[in-house]
Amino acid sequence: LMLYVPGGDGQSLIDYARAQAEEELEGVLTRVPETKVAVNRRLANGRPHKKIIEIIEGEAFDLVVMGTHGRTGLTHLILGSVAEKVIRRSPVPVLTVGWKPPEDEEPEAD
């Protein structure tokens, strides 16, 4: 399962996030090599960590793999970490994978 849960309120924000997420997930899926691991695509609305836990608890998963933004400092303190909240509440193991920008790209500033 490849899952993206856009945060925020308002139907236009949800519609925009859904369209962007569909496009992003489609691009990611085209780069996933053929393996014996099943990869499904799904979008969901809600608070990201709560929706992820709800889906984990409602289905049979052996492992959850999550990307992280690597926020630190004040940004992390204010926004928290979806991955951290999922790790604390998940009934199955969670593997986090950090994001590293391409060498020709500058990392995002906090």
Q: What is the pLDDT along the chain (110 residues), one digit of tens a residue?
A: 777 776 556 677 778 878 888 888 888 777 777 777 777 778 787 898 999 999 999 998 889 888 877 667 766 665 568 888 999 999 999 998 877 766 765 655 55
Here the tokens at position 76 are 């992390």
Here the tokens at position 12 are 């236009």
pLDDT for residue 110: 53
pLDDT for residue 78: 56
Residues 6+ apart with CB under 8 A from 4: 21, 24, 25, 43, 44
pLDDT for residue 17: 78
CA distance between the termini of the chain: 30
pLDDT for residue 4: 76
**pTM for this prediction:** 0.64
Beta strands 94-98 and 64-68 are: parallel
The fold adopted by the segment(s) 48-110 is Rossmann fold (3.40.50)
Residue linked to tokens 């790790």: 87
Domains in the chain: boundaries: 1-46, 48-110
pLDDT for residue 102: 66
